[in-house]
């Protein structure tokens, strides 16, 4: 048995994690109060990584998976109420609240969900804890889960760990992920290498193309 | 220890189950293809029960709980996609599909959810299996769960059983529930009497009023 | 799609529910304080049903499934501690406590688990709520779940409902189940007929035999 | 709201993760085939850390929590069968199998569980995925969870993440944990500092003592 299996399109899905205005846009809820000095200072790596690497790769992934007719899902930080009373204790403590329906909770325009694609609001780091995604993936007959999004060492890593523990074969796409520094990004990739295979956007798109060419 | 505890408004919530066009309206998805002969025949009891007893009582409950500032939630049979590919195996077999966003999936007008109340789409009998309601109730600090809706011996009964098993103190409001015959309704009430206290709409509204009067 | 599928032995398992001294023996915890008058009065049907119908059928089922090399599992009411502090709120209220390791928690001798068969202690009606059986069945690659045991309209019915909701194809064996009266037994079979196929011990053993004969 | 809350003994529990022969002993399943050269080479830090720091601190924690009458639980990597067919896909791929009842699955002697303390066999990194510990903690009325054990950046970190997401206030005791290098240990502590408070054994024992002195 091995984790290093190519995708079976009929048993696969691609999940984008938290690629939403709140935490990807300079004027999103997480950053709008951050002074410019920090945006061009401590957050320079993050926004540059998003712009030059992660978002373009996510856009390519999304297109390739749609073409291959593999299910694409999204999860976003968003409460089910405006005041966030339904949020996790963790998000209450952290002070995260993306009110139901707010712009902050929308997937970024570049990656806008299709009309019949599934978007799951969540209020915890791991999408498996605060949504019923495991139930949905089961109903969709998904066995292999591809993960991309932000930030690599928090919500993405938690999803990798839980997905693996639950029994999915997880493929992480590191160059379609971002976090606040290259060191943090690299550390997490090492830490979770036993829980997932790690494949570049380029290689994964090729893999899917080959599958389609069959 | 006892199940026969009055509600603590700060730890309580009211959940309406499947009170939606699909299964409560004559022109809802479940009944629109049923001939008139059956509507006035085998379904006469059900629709009369809804009109004369269950819906009026649900409306009164909703008003009383809102006045007492107790959380009111709703669950409805509804897929997260239009073609229902995310539905449970059970709903696929049964042939139930309420497409995302359809009129069939809306709570009936008489009981329309408030602007900031939570509505959870589900695709299984028990709301605890196909939604993350347990997580939400935990975040809302709810310990006592009040249940009403349709049909008594299917989705309502499954919710009573799971809620009790999980650790909620369950209050069922039998006269705010309906199923297809009085016999089935009575049988289920007997079968689950060990899992919940059973209180009439009238008595429960009084109980809440007394609490508010404190 | 249909629920009326014969078992695929490689994807099936048989689960016996609460067939343990506590609730099946006259000197088990649930009955030892019950006066003889009630045992030969209100509980006469139950004990007779167990002795003449349900237990003999369970014994036959167990043998047939073992011969067919289909996984056989057991769940029993049992706490993980002696004082039962880990029990569900429901069992605390009801007053059920089978201390860890007690005779009351053992599967009855006639149906003694094999050396490498799985026994899951539980403290709720539904085995899916207070054990991680869903995780185990997934790891065992089980899709079709056969249920038998006691009592039909409580722990067995709750297991049928949850198993169906989760996505298993459920086969209930009514003549390998028992509850306190024929009326209750018949009511529950009708109530849950939409959640499972119902097959007699005789027919199910034949079905497995045919499969083996292939 | 804050994560930096001292323990409320009535709402707290201490969980030891994987402190078992399999992965803590030189002759445990994970290391018995490892050549001496590696044990005194790449694993030198790990075994020294266990011997000099982590195990002594765990022993002190265990004693202090028992004295304070705070629940102490244990989880161990262990299958429910001898051949491990019930294990997670991840453990099957990784090749981990601690057969039911094996010496490898026992908590190490220094930390032997008390007669009425709970030990949960698991087959995934996170104890929350492959056991029903969340249900038990709920029944035990636990809100604050203290974590210690091995290895810091795998099973311990996964437990921190899930416990936090689910809604527990998590206290991690870094000097009662160990992993394969100081760098990995430090990286994980930084990565999860937003999910838990981190307190030394010394400070936590004082905190409990003060509580007891009230």
pTM of the predicted protein model: 0.97
Per domain, the residue ranges of chain A are 9-212
pLDDT digits (tens, 9 = 90+) for B165-190: 999 999 999 999 999 999 999 999 99
**Contact between chains at C93 and B162 (C-beta distance less than 8 A):** no
Nearest by CB to D116, from C82, C131, C136: name it: C82
Contact status, residue D24 vs residue D177, Cβ threshold 8 Å? no
Residue B212's pLDDT band (cuts 50, 70, 90): low
Mean pLDDT of chain B: 96
**CA–CA separation, B142 and A92 (whole Å):** 16
Nearest CB to D167; choose among B138, B166, B167 = B138
pLDDT given at position C211: 56
Nearest to D138 among B135, B139, B167 (CB): B167
Structure token pair of residue C126: 């539904």
Enter the tokens of residue D98.
């601690």
pLDDT at B214: 46
Query: How many residues can be counted in chain C?
Result: 214
Three-state secondary structure call for residue A86:
coil
Task: Flag residues of chain D having pLDDT under 70.
Answer: 210-214
Structure confidence at residue A1 (pLDDT): 85
CB atoms within 10 A of CB A26: 13
C194 shares contact with chain A (CB less than 8 Å): no
CA B34, chain centre distance (Å): 23
The answer to whether the CB of C134 falls within 8 A of the CB of C164 is no
Q: Residue C213 pLDDT > 90, yes or no?
A: no
**What does residue C17 show for φ and ψ, rounded to 5 degrees?**
-110, 115
Q: Do D178 and D150 contact (CB within 8 A), yes or no?
A: yes
pLDDT at A214 over 50: no
Residue C102: is its pLDDT beyond 70?
yes
Query: D121 has which bridge partners?
Result: D76
Check CB contact under 8 Å for C86 and D136.
Answer: yes
Token look-up 């499954």 returns: B158
Say whether D80 and C136 touch across the interface (CB within 8 A). Answer: yes
B-chain CB neighbours of C157 within 8 Å are 161, 191
Residue C20 has pLDDT above 50, yes or no: yes
Measure the CA angle with vertex B10, ends B7 and B16; round to 5°: 65
CB of D132 within 8 Å of any CB in chain B?
Answer: no
pLDDT for the residue numbered A56: 98
pLDDT tens, B76-126?
999 999 999 999 999 999 999 999 999 999 999 999 999 999 999 999 999
Q: Which residues of chain D from 70 to 99 reach within 8 Å of chain C, CB to CB?
A: 80-83, 85-89
Residues of chain C contacting residue B166, judged by C-beta atoms under 8 Å apart: 124, 129
Q: Quick one: residue C18, left, alpha or beta (phi over 0 = left, psi -120 to 50 = alpha)?
A: left
> Which residues of A are less than 8 Å from B132 in CB distance?
130-132
Torsion angle, alpha carbons of B174, B178, B180, B185, to 10: -10
Residue B1's pLDDT is 85
Query: Which partners does chain A have (≥3 C-beta pairs < 8 Å)?
Result: B, C, D
Q: Which chain B residues have a beta carbon less than 8 Å from that of D138?
A: 167
Helices and strands in chain C: count of H runs, count of E runs: 10, 6
Q: Averaged over A93-113, what is the pLDDT?
A: 97
Query: How far is Cα D77 from Cα D63, in angstroms, rounded to an integer?
Result: 23
Q: Which residue in B137, B185, B151 sits closest to B12, CA to CA?
A: B137
Alpha helices in C68-145 (DSSP H): 89-94, 127-130, 133-139
Does the pLDDT value for residue C214 go beyond 60? no
DSSP H or E segment with residue C108:
none
Q: What phi and psi values does residue A29 have, to the nearest 5 degrees?
A: -55, -35
Site from D128, D134, D138 to mutate, B interface, most B CB atoms within 10 angstroms: D138
C-alpha to C-alpha distance for B169 and B147, rounded to whole angstroms:
11
Spatial CB neighbours of C71, under 8 Å, sequence gap ≥ 6: C12, C13, C14, C65, C117, C118, C140, C142
| ipTM of the shown complex | 0.96
- Tally the C-alpha atoms within 13 A of residue A22's C-alpha that lie toward its C-beta: 23
Whole-Å CA distances, D63 to B119, C81, D6, D111, D112? 48, 19, 18, 9, 11
Mean pLDDT of C66-87: 97
Is the Cβ pair A161, D166 closer than 8 Å?
no
Helix (H, G, I), strand (E, B) or coil at A148: strand
pLDDT of residue A211: 56
Say whether C118 and D80 touch across the interface (CB within 8 A).
Answer: yes
Chains adjacent to B (≥3 CB pairs closer than 8 angstroms): A, C, D
Mutate to test the interface with C, among B91, B161, B168, B188 (most CBs of C within 10 A): B161
Burial class (CB in 10 A: 0-12, 13-18, 19+), D41: exposed
Considering the domain D9-212, what is its CATH architecture? 3-Layer(aba) Sandwich (3.40)
- CA of B69, closest CA in chain C: separation in Å? 26
| Gap between the Cα atoms of A146 and C20, Å rounded | 45
Instruction: Order the strands of the C169-178 sheet from edge to edge.
Output: C118-122, C71-77, C12-17, C144-150, C169-178, C197-198
Distances (CA, A) of D5 to A89, A94, A209, B199: 14, 14, 53, 40
Listed by number, the residues of chain B in 148-187 with a beta carbon closer than 8 Å to a beta carbon of chain C are 153-154, 157-158, 161-162, 164-169, 184, 187
Is-cis flag, bond preceding D151, omega within 30? yes
The total of other beta-carbon atoms located within 10 Å of residue D166's CB is 23
Nearest CB partner across the interface for B167, out of D139, D166, D167: D139
B36–chain A Cβ distance below 8 A for any pair: no
Query: What mean pLDDT do residues C79-97 have?
Result: 96
The per-residue pLDDT for range B133-154, each reduced to its tens digit, is 999 999 999 999 999 999 999 9
pLDDT tops 90 at residue B28? yes
Q: Which of B207-211, C92-96, D58-62 has the highest mean pLDDT?
A: D58-62
As a whole number of angstroms, the distance between CA D154 and CA A194 comes to 9
Instruction: Give the residue ranges of DSSP H helices in chain C.
Output: 21-24, 36-39, 44-49, 55-67, 89-94, 127-130, 133-139, 157-166, 182-191, 201-213
- DSSP secondary structure letter of residue C1: -
Interchain contact, C139 vs D89, CB within 8 Å: yes
- Judging contacts by C-beta atoms under 8 Å, the chain A residues touching residue C134 are none
Check: CB of residue A172 under 8 Å from CB of residue A201.
no
pLDDT digits (tens, 9 = 90+) for C27-73: 999 999 999 999 999 999 999 999 999 999 999 999 999 999 999 99
Do A139 and B82 lie within an 8 Å CB cutoff?
Answer: no
For the stretch C126-163, pLDDT in tens is 999 999 999 999 999 999 999 999 999 999 999 999 99
pLDDT in tens, A151-202: 999 999 999 999 999 999 999 999 999 999 999 999 999 999 999 999 999 9
Distance CA A96, CA B190 (A): 45
Candidates C89, C118, C131; nearest CB to D86: C118
Chains that touch D (3 or more CB pairs under 8 A): A, B, C
Is the pLDDT at A212 greater than 70, yes or no? no
For residues C3 and C197, is the Cβ–Cβ distance under 8 A? yes
Distance from CA of D55 to the nearest CA of B (A): 35
Is residue D19 a contact partner of residue D150, using CB atoms and an 8 Å limit?
Answer: yes
């Amino acid at each position: 048995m091995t984790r290093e299996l190519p995708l079976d399109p009929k048993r696969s899905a691609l999940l984008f994690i938290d690629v939403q205005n709140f935490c990807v846009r300079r004027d999103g809820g997480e950053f709008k109060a951050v002074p410019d000095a920090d945006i061009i200072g401590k957050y320079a790596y993050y926004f540059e990584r998003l712009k030059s690497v992660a978002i373009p790769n996510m856009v390519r992934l999304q297109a390739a998976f749609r073409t291959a007719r593999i299910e694409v899902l999204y999860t976003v930080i968003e409460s089910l109420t405006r005041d966030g009373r339904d949020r996790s204790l963790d998000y209450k403590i952290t002070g995260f609240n993306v009110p139901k329906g707010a712009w902050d909770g929308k997937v970024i325009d570049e990656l806008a969900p299709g009309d019949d694609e599934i978007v799951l609001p969540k209020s915890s780091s791991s999408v498996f804890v605060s949504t019923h995604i495991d139930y949905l993936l089961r109903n969709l007959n998904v066995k292999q889960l591809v993960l991309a999004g932000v930030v690599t060492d928090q919500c993405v890593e938690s999803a990798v760990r839980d997905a693996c523990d639950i029994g999915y074969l997880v493929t992480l796409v590191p160059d379609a992920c971002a976090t606040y520094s290259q060191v943090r990004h690299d550390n997490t990739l090492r830490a979770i290498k036993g829980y997932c295979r790690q494949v570049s956007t380029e290689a994964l798109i090729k893999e899917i193309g080959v599958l389609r060419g069959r």
